[in-house]
Amino acid sequence: MDHFLYHNGVLHAEDVPLSEIAEAVGTPFYCYSTATLTRHFRLFDEALAGMDHLVCYAMKAASNQAILKTLAALGAGMDVVSGGEYARAKAAGVPGERIVFSGVGKTRDEMRQALIGGIRQFNVESEPEMTALNAVALELGVRAPITIRVNPDVDAKTHAKIATGKSENKFGIPIARAREVYTQAAALPGLEVIGIDVHIGSQLTELAPFRLAYEKVAELTQVLRADGHDIRRLDLGGGLGIPYTRSNEAPPLPTEYGALIREVLGNLGCEIEIEPGRLIAGNAGILVARVIYVKSGEGRDFLILDAAMNDLIRPAMYDAHHDIVPLVEAAPGVEQQPYDVVGPVCESGDTFAKARMLPPLTEGDLVAFRSAGAYGAVMSSEYNTRPLVPEVLVHGRDFAVIRGRPTFDEMINRDTIPEWL
């Protein structure tokens, strides 16, 4: 469920007509719903009620400060994958004890930054990283709390570019070598081994891969405890998918996911961490664009928008589907027609959809891309010297621009000319 609904034939974000925001800030723009962000976080939190747990939002999905502050106020932790994300989390008021640092390529500077600023744990991905973190911790005179990410060799049944739990993926250590690597970690004086980390992919639409992975984690927990390790925290990653299409094939609910965690891991007495990103932010955001032209081509019509692949890269990168709807609801019985929905960037890859059935649209009409809150604005760029689009947060009847559109002068003045030119 989200809070982008038609009222009197006009698409609203909560209680605000999206056309009102378009008039105020121009198009294209991203719009997020506070009510939807809140609802989705609480669904996860309530799914694990009664268990010792922390929901750490995977802020790579959408990392605007206003979104982070909204979730932090609800009690969310943060899962970060860079020094920049760590700085963003801290700037949003998230204490270090609620920040988890993931990622395969943490630098020594990032390790130092987190150890000085405070960290809940590092999810360590390799033996060289373990060695580096131990050295940095000893240099600072502290012990770094760690989990070790194990790769369970489970097929997440998702897009190849966002699968992370197969043996050929770059993430974690093979689960078959876990005992050996945990023994090495326990011997390093700058590290404190506190648990196990696993993450098998993103946009999973069934529970079976999670079950397979978590059963392996449960078995490994018992084995490592028998070896003398104090395994008291299980970081289960994220990955639960969202419905990108309005159909009856909805992914599992957070309540079903929570029930699976209880069933498979609930008897171990471990604190549970989960790291949802897409499911919290995805359907909490949309991208609004305006039709520049309707162009008739050879056997097809093109709907040319003022949004482009640099604003929403997912269709070009992943062949991802986003429902596209007009801001003014079509009258009942209006016959739809196929459009190739494209942007103005000078590449054929700047295509959002082909032969998409939509009501007749004309120059100046507004459309919305649903389910664009995750991996939308954060993956945008200024390709073709197109300004980053504004981000807007709605709260009931109020809305605020939470990232403005830069001017051309601001974009150009970031460059510096060497003295010999």
Q: Of 60, 92, 1, which is closest to residue 277 (Cα–Cα)?
A: 60
What's the full length of the chain, in residues?
Answer: 421
3-state secondary structure the chain: CCCEEEECCEEEECCEEHHHHHHHHCCCEEEEEHHHHHHHHHHHHHHCCCCCEEEEEECCCCCCHHHHHHHHHCCCEEEECCHHHHHHHHHCCCCHHHEEECCCCCCHHHHHHHHHHCCCEEEECCHHHHHHHHHHHHHHCCCEEEEEEEECCCCCCCCHHHECCCCCCCCCEEHHHHHHHHHHHHCCCCEEEEEEECCCECCECCCHHHHHHHHHHHHHHHHHHHCCCCCCEEECCCCECCCCCCCCCCCCCHHHHHHHHHHHHHHHCCEEEECCCHHHHHHHEEEEEEEEEEEECCCCEEEEECCCCCCCCHHHHHCCCCCEEECECCCCCCCCEEEEEECCCCCCCCEEEEEEEECCCCCCCEEEECCCCCCCHHHCCCHHHCCCCCEEEEECCEEEEEECCCCHHHHHCCCCCCCCC
Query: At which residue do the structure tokens 């689960």 appear?
Result: 175
Give CA angle at 285 (97, 48), nearest 5°.
Answer: 45
Tell me if residue 56 is catalytic: no
Interstrand relation of 10-13 and 337-342 (parallel, antiparallel or unpaired): unpaired
Amino acid at 303: L
Q: Catalytic pick from 31, 56, 270, 346?
A: 346
Q: Residues 123, 80: contact at Cβ < 8 Å?
A: no
Is the sign of the CA dihedral 265, 267, 268, 274 positive or negative? positive
Residue numbers annotated as active site: 346
